[in-house]
């Protein structure tokens, strides 16, 4: 039996075009001799649909479209299509009104509906908010073209992630994969909408390998690709045989249709796309896809970036150029009296390397205007952070005006380190429709820039999505000007300012933040690891105080397992302190 894996990029809510993608994949699958087509979780509506599924008309539309897909499927092909299915028992039992389901379509009919059994509620996942859990093992028998039956077990995303033998414990009371093995299936398929984080594909394959070897059963894993809001989906659909060997893998970060052959009780070797093992290459590919899809799915064709001559705006500009083409990325230079000549030259050189247009807007007259307006109110006060922030807010207003006037998507350029400690300005540099690198720590931003330059010098600019004609591959080629990489980072809001006037060195800060944000360590644990107590306690206070800012930030493209986005749910008004244990007040007598 030939099985087609459709690694699709659906747009959330665009049921008609998502259905068209499925049917186009079906035609290609039949052309390659496939008997069964597999699509990702909720492929008909896109994952995650969030509160759209609370609308009965939306669920009804999916039911109608599902029937139409069944009728339009090519002869001789069966398909598993991700959909939302009504729960007929909801009114009488108090259960949730819908299921996260896979529909088996064949011969013009919806032959069966299989419901997701394990509903995750951690990090960015909210399945239990919307869906009722399935209660029965999902499996069916499908006759091959020659009439030989294959018994296929169906799991949906999280259903595969509860193997106590792999994790050492169970997060849910049931293991759907183990139950399918008990039911005697020949093959397990997993239809997923699994978001990307750094290194996640290696973890997936280790987990699937454990399951295939434990149960002696091959597994086909199908994943969504593309970006929906803050979530990036890497695809990387993969098939492992009974021995746990990878026999097929689809390319990362791009749609694909791959056919794998099931014969004599096992999956046979097929096309294996290489696994991306370079962290910088992986993050670069994810962010380029994230920007491209966010712009496309929101209807933007061009972007605007504030170019400061610093490293953060440089990498965001390069990512945007790769995602949309450099001609569609406007770099705006907004020098102040405190801006150094080299920063302006560095910004101009970057745009020249990319082949992107620029516009220069001097902000000195606007700064003077603010000084005049506040002359009386601010009299007899010292200049300080307020005046510095006004510069950022002037720039933010100019960028928003350009975005409004020309319909460009404004990309925010703040990194994760700054977002964590609040080293950013509300209604200033935080302005934008998408925060491109707000899940990338400052030290990783430097690593990305150096990696990008190495790729250019090696003549691999075209591979990165950058226009070869603008970046010439030769021994001296560079994309990020060297001076941007070696100068001390600075917001240049006052004479001689550098980031380290306000923050510890980024290598120290990023390690503290990794322990605090990613590893959930307490201040005491971080200090015990060798960090200065005063630096740690100040960092913890800054992270806590910046929650209000993060709540007002644009969507953050997620590349780590702990991003400042939909999976970060901290209170703003809170007295919780990580820096010292709570002390009880003595009772009043």
For 109, the enclosing helix (H) or strand (E) is strand 109-115
For 139, the enclosing helix (H) or strand (E) is strand 139-143
Of 227, 446, 428, the residue nearest 315 (C-alpha): 446
For the chain, the straight-line distance linking the first and the last C-alpha, in angstroms and rounded, comes to: 81
Phi, psi of 490 (to 5 degrees): -155, 140
Q: What share of the chain is helix, strand, coil (3-state, %, to 5)?
A: 40, 20, 40
Q: Which residues are catalytic?
A: 41, 116, 157
CA distances from 244 to 238, 250, 267 (A): 11, 17, 11
Burial of 198 (0-12, 13-18, 19+ CB in 10 A): middle
Burial of 381 (0-12, 13-18, 19+ CB in 10 A): exposed
CA distances from 141 to 34, 186, 441 (A): 16, 10, 49
> Rounded CA gap, 163 and 127, in Å?
19
Phi, psi of 224 (to 5 degrees): -65, 155
The string of DSSP codes covering 348-367 is HHHHHHHT--EEE---HHHH
Half-sphere exposure of 408 (CA within 13 A, CB side): 24
Angle 208-212-217 (CA atoms, 0-180°, nearest 5)? 135
Q: Is the dihedral of CA 576, 569, 289, 222 positive or negative?
A: positive
Of 53, 138, 67, 57, the residue nearest 102 (C-alpha): 138
Q: How many residues does the chain have?
A: 589
Question: In sequence order, what are the residues at sequence separation of 6 or more whose Cβ sits closer than 8 angstroms to the Cβ of residue 385?
Answer: none
């Amino acid at each position: 039996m030939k099985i087609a894996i459709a690694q699709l990029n659906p747009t959330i809510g665009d049921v008609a075009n998502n259905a068209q993608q499925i049917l186009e994949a079906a035609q290609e699958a039949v052309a390659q001799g496939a008997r069964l087509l597999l699509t990702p979780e909720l492929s008909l509506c896109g994952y995650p649909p969030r509160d759209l599924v609370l609308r009965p008309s939306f669920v009804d539309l999916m039911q109608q479209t599902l029937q139409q897909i069944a009728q339009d499927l090519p002869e001789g092909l069966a398909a598993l299509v991700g959909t939302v299915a009504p729960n007929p028992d909801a009114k009488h039992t108090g259960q949730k009104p819908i299921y996260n389901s896979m529909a088996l379509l064949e011969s013009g009919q919806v032959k069966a509906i299989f419901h997701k059994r394990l509903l995750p509620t951690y990090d960015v996942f909210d399945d239990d908010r919307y869906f009722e859990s399935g209660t029965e093992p999902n499996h069916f028998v499908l006759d091959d073209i020659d009439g030989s039956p294959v018994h296929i077990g169906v799991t949906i995303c999280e259903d595969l992630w509860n193997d106590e033998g792999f994790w050492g414990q169970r997060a849910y009371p049931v293991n759907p994969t183990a139950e399918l093995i008990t039911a005697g299936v020949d093959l397990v398929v997993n239809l997923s909408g699994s978001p990307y984080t750094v290194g996640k594909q290696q973890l997936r394959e280790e987990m699937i390998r454990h399951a295939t070897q434990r149960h002696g059963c091959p597994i086909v894993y199908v994943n969504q690709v593309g970006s929906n809001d803050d979530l990036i989906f890497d695809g990387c659909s993969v098939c492992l045989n009974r021995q746990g060997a990878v026999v097929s893998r689809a390319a990362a970060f791009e749609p694909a249709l791959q056919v794998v052959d099931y014969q004599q009780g096992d999956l046979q070797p097929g096309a294996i796309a290489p696994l991306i093992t370079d962290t910088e290459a992986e993050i670069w590919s994810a962010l380029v896809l994230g920007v491209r899809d966010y712009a496309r799915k929101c209807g933007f064709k061009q972007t605007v970036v504030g170019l400061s001559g610093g490293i953060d705006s440089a990498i965001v500009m390069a990512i945007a150029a790769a995602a949309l083409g450099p001609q569609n990325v406007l770099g705006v230079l907004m020098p102040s009296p405190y801006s150094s000549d080299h920063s302006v030259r560095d910004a101009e050189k970057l745009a020249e390397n990319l082949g992107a247009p620029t516009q220069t807007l001097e902000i000195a007259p606007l700064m003077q205007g603010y000084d005049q307006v506040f002359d009386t109110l601010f009299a007899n006060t010292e200049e300080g952070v307020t005046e510095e922030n006004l510069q950022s807010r002037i720039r933010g207003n100019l960028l928003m005006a350009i975005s409004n006037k020309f319909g460009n998507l404004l990309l925010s350029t703040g990194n994760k380190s700054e977002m964590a400690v609040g080293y950013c300005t509300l209604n200033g540099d935080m302005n934008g429709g998408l925060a491109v690198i707000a899940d990338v720590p400052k030290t990783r931003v430097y690593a990305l820039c150096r990696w990008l330059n190495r790729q250019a010098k090696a003549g691999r600019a075209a591979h990165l999505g950058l226009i070869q004609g603008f970046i010439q591959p030769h021994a001296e080629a560079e994309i990020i000007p060297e001076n941007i990489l070696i100068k001390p980072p600075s917001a240049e809001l006052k004479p001689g300012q550098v980031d380290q006037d306000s923050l510890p060195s980024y290598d120290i800060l990023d390690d503290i933040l990794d322990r605090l944000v990613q590893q959930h360590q307490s201040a005491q644990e971080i200090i015990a690891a060798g960090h200065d107590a005063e630096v740690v306690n100040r960092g913890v206070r800054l992270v806590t105080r910046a929650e209000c800012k993060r709540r007002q930030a644009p969507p953050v493209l997620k590349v780590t397992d702990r991003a400042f986005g939909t999976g970060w749910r901290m209170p703003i008004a809170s007295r919780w302190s990580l820096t010292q244990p709570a002390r009880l007040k003595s009772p009043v007598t």
